[in-house]
Structures are given as C-alpha cells and as structure tokens.
Amino acid sequence: MNIETLAIHAGRSIDPTTKSVTAPLYLSTTFEREPDGSYPQGFLYTRMASPNREMLEDCLTQLEGGEAAAAFSSGSAATMSVFQALSPGDHVIAPLDAYSGTTALLKNVMMPWGLEVSFIDLTDLGQVEQAVCPNTKLIWTETPSNPMLRITDLAAVATIAHQNNAICACDNTWASPVLQRPFEQGADLVVHSTTKYLGGHSDVLGGVVIAKVEDDRFQRIRQIQIAGGAVAAPFDCWLVLRGIQTLPYRMRGHSANALKLASALVNHPAVEAVHYPGLPDHPGHAIAAKQMKDFGGMMSIQIKGGREAAFAVTAGVKLFTRATSLGGVESLIEHRASIEGEGTQTPENLLRLSIGLESPEDLVADLTQALDQAVVEK
C-alpha cells in the first residue's frame, strides 16, 4: 500500500458505536472491568494503553514499516527511552552535529547515569569504525543533521553496527517516513519528534520509537514508557494522527519550497554558505539522493558579517516568524547558536530555516529583502 493511502487509513477504522468516520477522542483515564476481572477491550488505565495512543502507534508502525511503536509525551522522552533501555557501562556512538537536546541528554543525564558516549563525525565512516569498542551497543544517527544538514550513510553505518553486535537507531524527524525509510537502510529503531512534521501544525508535543522487530529490546522500551509514565496524551495522539493524513502532500510542498529558496540564495552577496542537501554541490548530495525520496523542508544559511549580521537578517523578515521548532505549515527562522546556548558548536552566523507551505515566491522575496537590507547596513 502506498504511503499516501497509509497516511489516511493506517490505525483508523469506522467507530462501531456511532459510525463516526473521524476517530473519537477517548479522554477516560480508566476502564471498566468485566465481572470476572478481565479487560476484553485491552484497556485498563491510560498510562498503560489508551485507544487514541493505540491508533497512533499502529499508524506510525505501518508508516515506517516496522513491527511495533511506543508513543511518548515528547521527542526527547522517546529518545531517552532508547538510551535507558541500555545498561550502565554500555557504549554509544553519537553524532557531533545533532539536535542539541539529544546531546545535552547524553552529556547531562545518561553519561552520569553510566553510559559511555563517543561524539564523532558520522559522515566519516572511518571515524565510525575507529570509535567502535567491545562494549558498543548503539550507534545513534540523525540525518539530515540539525542544524548543519550533514548526511549520514545509513546503510553503511547500520552495517558497521551489526558487524559489531550493536544496533543502529535513526532520528528520522527531519525527513519523515515520506522521504526516508531507515528500516530499508538497515536501521533497527526509528525515532521521531511527532511535534514536528508528523503533527505538522505547531500545536502538539509528542514523540515515538518504532521498532523494526518487536524483540526484547523493544519490550524494554515499552516498559520504560509504561513505568516511567511519559506517555502521549489522548488528545495529543488524536492531533498527530490527524496531521499525518496530509503528511505526504505537505512534505512535497516543504521540499519544493526549500529547494527553490536554497537555489535563490546561493549567490546572494550577504550569504556565506547555504546548507541544503538538495543542492548538487552539497557534500552529502549523492548519499541523500540515494537514501531519500526528496530533500526535505529544512535548511541553514550562514550570513557574512557574523552574529550581528545574522540577527539583522532575522530582524528584517516580515513573513518568516522568529521562533524555534520546525515542521509546521508556517516558515520559521532562528539564530540557532543562541538557542543552543553555552558550549554550542553551531557557527554564530548561522540561521536555521524551517520552510513552510506559503508561496515560494513570497518566501524568496521576504528573505531576499532582509538580506539586501543587511548588505546595505553593512
């Protein structure tokens, strides 16, 4: 079944009681037992399972082509469950360029807890091979990376992981299952912040872990979900499930708009560099073209003149919104280094752009006039 059809039908069915086409919202936290003590519908207490969460998990399992999924209250909670399913003393290989929240989680929570972590350039397969230790249990990938849009060869990294009795996990938030299929490249786990493209409207917080195989490792993640209680609420699940229905068409629009904007900016006198894997001269373009169906809606640009010039550009936009997050229908711009804070490796002149679904001509015009003004002021 094609992904456009799955996005609309997976995890959903006509409500047997009311014949509602749209899934009802089940807000109950508890469910009645039968006189014999059984729960024939499978629901006991909403922390353990709920109808709306079950629908979302089923949908996401089918979208990614896995066997099971666990939905969490945030992308960070989903990410943490993967690390918590390991044991103190286990070794993790993680990318240098990645979502700063994941890096902070590893450094500030999981390393003190007992995980050993090596941060390396995952685009360099030689570094990946050299980083493997006897106790390596997980290689964590994020591609395209946040915020530099670096591309990791998923198939190659998964092969290295499996040759060393480790697993490969992929944060697929930026690509979504529409553009990238990590399981087909050899990944064992896929993680999403459902807050972003899956929800698609900047109005819900959530995360998910999807397993290629429903094995003992995934059962540990499921137990962390239930025992830890960082579960996705029914209404949040309902919102994400609704957003997924338009995901394939939204991703096409995001990708088309981003490519037009990236192409328009490469020769602007105020722009030092454009980071977008859809550009032929991007260092990861060939790998991205091999493992992605399109190049996504995220890009970063570096502004000539440093931090002050970058902030001048953000001050000059009229259509873009100065805000963090990504994946909504509206276009966002942010100075990423100031969001990441102390210790960031992100260049001070870098702006991260989440390209929305507005007219691409309007987006180009807005950013161009802000860049033109920055050149005049300089």
Active site residue ranges: 47, 99, 171, 196
Full 3-state SS string of the chain:
CCHHHHHHHCCCCCCCCCCCCCCCCCCCCECCCCCCCCCCCCCCECCCCCHHHHHHHHHHHHHHCCCEEEEECCHHHHHHHHHHCCCCCCEEEEECCCCHHHHHHHHHHHHHHCCEEEEECCCCHHHHHHHCCCCEEEEEEECCCCCCCCCCCHHHHHHHHHHCCCEEEEECCCCHHHHECHHHHCCCEEEEECCCCCCCCCCCCCEEEEECCCCHHHHHHHHHHHHHCCECCHHHHHHHHHHHCCHHHHHHHHHHHHHHHHHHHCCCCCEEEEECCCCCCCCCHHHHHHHECCCCCEEEEEECCHHHHHHHHHHHCCCCEECCCCCCCCCEEEEHHHHHCCCCCCCCCEEEEECCCCCHHHHHHHHHHHHHHHHHHC
Q: In sequence order, which residues have a C-beta less than 8 Å from that of residue 20 and are 6 or more positions away?
A: 14
